[in-house]
Structure 1
């Protein structure tokens, strides 16, 4: 498939060249005249100027992805090789559903080729198109979302960006293994929705939990195959360019830390950044925040281990026994990064053991004689 037919080039006046060869713009190959050879890249940027899934879309500026790029290109390049290409903006389909399917095809091809797409949206319902890009893999995948609320409205009149999660969870065939939401605000979320998701053994973390235990979010992110980040999860002071102003949420620094975790995750294969509304963005503060988040994601990408052989000398193996159970719980710790994994055996014996990301605190919980909650949730999903 020729990917170039799906994209429009970037305006040369904004991205035609960069005076500083040490900046990000001096390293990224953008789509200006000829479509870049994306197969020689490792990270691929894609703009999604699609807002038909949100209320009041007719009043929206569609320059969001370009404004994020403008700020990103001015930042200084990090320590990695930064083999990054910018494919330009995805051409919207005739209908919104066509855009979902178009995004599906693009994500599918890039993931198959081992590339890491970073999607600059666009309304949050485009997460659905990102998710569809994994349908062909014939395996289950894990999804993590960072958002101030759960987009699960069942009202038929609700905008897609307020109901897309409900559609995603009910998608057939069902290939979703686990779902985690970080940063939801309880006063914006119906308790019935929380109860329904908890019955499905999904992990939900309030904004207070995320901020107080940010390091504990790292294994949650590390387990995800795809990550969707809505700008509404960031407080208005750090990111005013959002539809609903909210004085509470993540700080810009905390959002960048989550993106750093995402970039480092060997399992994560696509990252979507959604919900940016330029018409509310005074002095491009949100564009700067989001550009910095993208910077940390790319820089984290070049810190990946790329070798998760738990039997190698790179990992320490710990066995934790329980006084009332002859079985032992197995943990692995990477010597270089100090990151932890936990082995979860299928109690029915029908499937091979799974090794899932965990934290040092999970190991300490097991040492104290208690079964970690992450082990229980994983066992329930097997």
Structure 2
């Protein structure tokens, strides 16, 4: 597949200067005259400037969000280890918004086939629908995570911008290939109660902004189960990321945001990552661009610290079996010997041939030790059924 047909090269202002040898710019192969060899890359950056799905419309002319993020990202220091990173340039939008979704589907699908992780920067959050469609051809149920100030579950129709209804569209897509969803960072005062009730009935997990800020470590197992993740920077408080509209004084801080990105990068099964919603015309001092660039840096750094955890039940894991008084009569937990990570074995009641080993927390193990079924087990049981 000739991906070069879909992209514009980076402007000379981003690539003219000789990069300092220790910065990411010195290790990235960027699309200027020749299109990068994406098939042999670990990570591929894609800039987006598609805003037809946004109620606020396109940013003012001359404000390309992905380029503003790049300007700061490439000045950051390379982390540890080798880096195989390409920048494919900026995606050319399709004739219609639906065409752009389909372009993303094809491009991300091609990257996934080569085990190259796409990093999507810019554009409105509804573009994660194209990111989602790329997984349809995998012919299996997938899990994903969304970070946003509210679950975008509005009823689609005339007058409803796609960025307000894209999550609903993902969940009702036919054929349905969603196994689980984790929604992180919602703000109660922005979220209709019936939306949370609907997600609960679907047995999906949510964490409010307060819960994430109280203990962001509890978000790690939810992200560890995801195969793709999308982040709307509107989930961050405006003081830390003044690059979206309308402004919101509450939300995640930049510390929580970068930690979530580290978790995503470190998740060995997560195969695509999107940072959406940054509007350069709302960011006169470049603070939000620097925040998004740093979030991206943490994802990349987390990626190069991946250590695949396989072989449950082998010497690589400690195995804990908890005996319970009812049905099920036991639960099996695994803890990595290398990291403070826990997993739980979930069998479908009445059919132990249907089994999954899923990420969990130490608290889930403690609850089971006290005779209480973890809520995560109950949710997964419903999904397996």
TM-score under structure 1 length normalisation:
0.97
Q: Mapping of 1:161-240 within 5 angstroms?
A: 161-240=163-242
Query: Are 1:10 and 1:32, in contact at CA under 8 Å, matched by a contact in 2?
Result: yes
How far apart, CA to CA, are the structure 2 residues paired with 1:328 and 1:16? 62
1:272 paired residue number: 274
SS at match of 1:288: helix
Query: Are 1:17 and 1:25, in contact at CA under 8 Å, matched by a contact in 2?
Result: no
Q: 2:160 aligns with which of 158, 182, 185?
A: 158
Aligned CA RMSD, in angstroms, stands at: 1.3
What is the CA distance between 1:342 and its match in structure 2?
0.5
How far apart, CA to CA, are the structure 1 residues paired with 2:19 and 2:184? 39
Query: Are 2:236 and 2:250, in contact at CA under 8 Å, matched by a contact in 1?
Result: yes
2:315 paired residue number: 313
SS at match of 1:118: strand
| 1:367–1:120 distance in 2 versus 1, CA, 3 Å | same
Q: Mapping of 1:1-382 within 5 angstroms?
A: 1-61=1-61, 62-154=63-155, 156=157, 157-324=159-326, 327-349=329-351, 351-382=353-384
What count of residue pairs does the alignment treat as equivalent?
382
Deviates more, 1:150-159 or 1:172-181: 150-159
Deviates more, 1:92-101 or 1:105-114: 105-114
Structure 1: gaps (5+ residues): none
How far apart, CA to CA, are the structure 2 residues paired with 1:283 and 1:18? 24
| 1:18–1:380 distance in 2 versus 1, CA, 3 Å | farther
How far apart, CA to CA, are the structure 1 residues paired with 2:277 and 2:99? 19
| 1:325–1:350 distance in 2 versus 1, CA, 3 Å | closer
Query: Are 1:180 and 1:203, in contact at CA under 8 Å, matched by a contact in 2?
Result: yes
Deviates more, 1:150-159 or 1:286-295: 150-159
How far apart, CA to CA, are the structure 2 residues paired with 1:60 and 1:132? 29
How far apart, CA to CA, are the structure 2 residues paired with 1:326 and 1:240? 50
| 1:81–1:163 distance in 2 versus 1, CA, 3 Å | same
TM-score under structure 2 length normalisation:
0.96
Deviates more, 1:56-65 or 1:368-377: 56-65
How far apart, CA to CA, are the structure 2 residues paired with 1:337 and 1:210? 21
How far apart, CA to CA, are the structure 2 residues paired with 1:90 and 1:155? 26
SS at match of 1:282: coil
